[in-house]
Amino acid sequence: MPAIPANPDRLLADLDHLRTIGAVGSGVSRMAFSDDDIAARVWLAERMAEAGLEVTVDPCGNLFGLPPGDAPCLLVGSHSDTQPLGGWLDGIYGVACGLELARAALEAGGPRIAVVSFQDEEGRFGGLGGSAVWAGRMSLAAADATTDADGVSFGAARVAAERIAPPGARLGAVSPARFSAYVEAHIEQGPALEAARLALGVVEAIVGVRRWSLTFRGEANHAGTTPMPLRRDAVQALGQYVVDLNAAFAPIVTERTVWTLGRITVDPNAPSIVPGAASVSVQMRDAEAARLDAMKAAALTLAQEVAAARGLELEAEEGIALDPVAMDPALVDRLAAGAEAVAPGRWQRMPSGALHDACNVAAVLPSAMLFVPSIGGISHNPAEDTARDDLRTGLLAIAAALGGNEPAS
Q: Which positions touch ligand HGY (CB under 6 A)?
A: 121-122, 354-355
| Nearest residue (CB) to Mn ion, 65 versus 94 | 94
Is the peptide bond preceding residue 268 cis, with omega within 30 degrees of 0?
yes
Query: Does 91 sit near Mn ion (CB under 5 A)?
Result: yes
CB of 379 to Mn ion, least distance (A): 7
Q: Cβ of 261: how many Cβ atoms within 10 Å?
A: 16
Q: Cβ of 279: how many Cβ atoms within 10 Å?
A: 18
Query: Does 90 sit near Mn ion (CB under 5 A)?
Result: yes
What Cα–Cα distance (Å) separates residue 363 from each residue in 206, 308, 324?
13, 41, 11
Return d(Cα 291, Cα 289) in angstroms, integer: 5
CB of 10 to ligand HGY, least distance (A): 25
CB of 121 to ligand HGY, least distance (A): 6
CB of 355 to ligand HGY, least distance (A): 4
Considering CB distances under 5 to 8 angstroms, the limit depending on partner class, which of ligand HGY, Mn ion, none binds residue 194? none
Considering CB distances under 5 to 8 angstroms, the limit depending on partner class, which of Mn ion, ligand HGY, none binds residue 97? none
Written as one letter, the residue type at 271 is P
Return d(Cα 100, Cα 36) in angstroms, integer: 22
Return d(Cα 230, Cα 25) in angstroms, integer: 47
Is the peptide bond preceding residue 111 cis, with omega within 30 degrees of 0?
yes
Return d(Cα 360, Cα 90) in angstroms, integer: 17
CB of 111 to ligand HGY, least distance (A): 29
Query: Does 126 sit near Mn ion (CB under 5 A)?
Result: no
| Nearest residue (CB) to ligand HGY, 188 versus 340 | 188
| Nearest residue (CB) to ligand HGY, 260 versus 304 | 260
Size of the site for Mn ion (CB under 5 A): 2
Query: Does 194 sit near Mn ion (CB under 5 A)?
Result: no
Q: How many helices (DSSP H) and strands (DSSP E) are in the chain?
A: 12, 19
Return d(Cα 66, Cα 251) in angstroms, integer: 49
CB of 266 to ligand HGY, least distance (A): 24
- Piece of the chain touching Mn ion by CB under 5 A; list 90-98, 336-344, 368-376, 394-402: 90-98
CB of 375 to Mn ion, least distance (A): 16
Query: Does 94 sit near Mn ion (CB under 5 A)?
Result: no
| Nearest residue (CB) to Mn ion, 354 versus 399 | 354
Nearest partner of 79 among 20, 124, 137, judged by Cα: 124
Considering CB distances under 5 to 8 angstroms, the limit depending on partner class, which of Mn ion, ligand HGY, none binds residue 355? ligand HGY
Task: Please provide residue 142's backbone torsions phi and psi, each rounded to the nearest 5 degrees.
Answer: -65, -40
Written as one letter, the residue type at 141 is A
| Nearest residue (CB) to ligand HGY, 56 versus 386 | 386
| Nearest residue (CB) to ligand HGY, 8 versus 27 | 27
Return d(Cα 74, Cα 332) in angstroms, integer: 14
CB of 191 to ligand HGY, least distance (A): 15
Considering CB distances under 5 to 8 angstroms, the limit depending on partner class, which of Mn ion, ligand HGY, none binds residue 385? none
| Nearest residue (CB) to Mn ion, 186 versus 232 | 186
HSE, side-chain direction, 13 A CA sphere, residue 132: 24
| Nearest residue (CB) to ligand HGY, 14 versus 121 | 121
What Cα–Cα distance (Å) separates residue 23 from each residue in 36, 82, 145, 175, 299?
9, 11, 30, 33, 37
Residue whose beta carbon is closest to Mn ion: 91
Which parts of this chain interact with Mn ion (CB under 5 A)? 90-91
